[in-house]
Amino acid sequence: MSLLEIVTYPDKRLRKVSKPVENIDGSLQNLIADMTETMHHAPGVGLAAIQVGIDKALIVYDLTPLEEKGSIQVLINPRIVEGEGEFLSENEGCLSVPDFRADVKRFARVLVEGVDAEGNPRRFEAEGYPALVLQHEIDHINGKLFIDHISALKRELYKRQVRKKLKKA
């Protein structure tokens, strides 16, 4: 296993819609292991392959507290089938959008479909925090960032902050 570099905003790869995974093979299993190690090291609770520069519709997430690192979930070619209700994700952040957090409106409940790491079809409901994590990571697969869900003013303030930081570098 090895740590992968996390792609950060404004990298254009984060805006790409990820390609579906066609084969679940050893190289994909290695990618899953590397993504999991990278996510825990960051530390984060979820990571999409595009966040490490890999154009595949793949997410890993772990909803256990960050200190525990124990319940890795893998979804290949995930999609939200339906969502309902409203949930305010307070202080949402992202490994690819460093140094910025915001309140984001999300669905309270989602129905998700995908395939697990062994190729078995999965279809399940998630509510509250698990629903938030799934929406956030599936957004990455669809070329969206959590800052796309906030006001234009807040988004523009963050973009200015990033441009200023890049000029100094």
CB 141 within 8 A of CB 57: yes
Please report which helix (H) or strand (E) contains residue 27, including its range: helix 26-41
The rounded distance, in Å, linking the Cα atoms of 136 and 131 is 9
**For residue 10, is the peptide bond before it cis, meaning its omega torsion is within 30 degrees of 0?**
yes
The active-site residue out of 82, 92, 125, 137 is: 137
Q: Is 67 exposed, middle or buried (0-12, 13-18, 19+ CB in 10 A)?
A: exposed
Whether 137 is catalytic: yes
Radius of gyration of the chain (CA): 16
Residue 5 DSSP label: P
CB 72 within 8 A of CB 36: yes
Pairing of strands 97-106, 87-94: antiparallel
Write out the catalytic residue numbers: 137
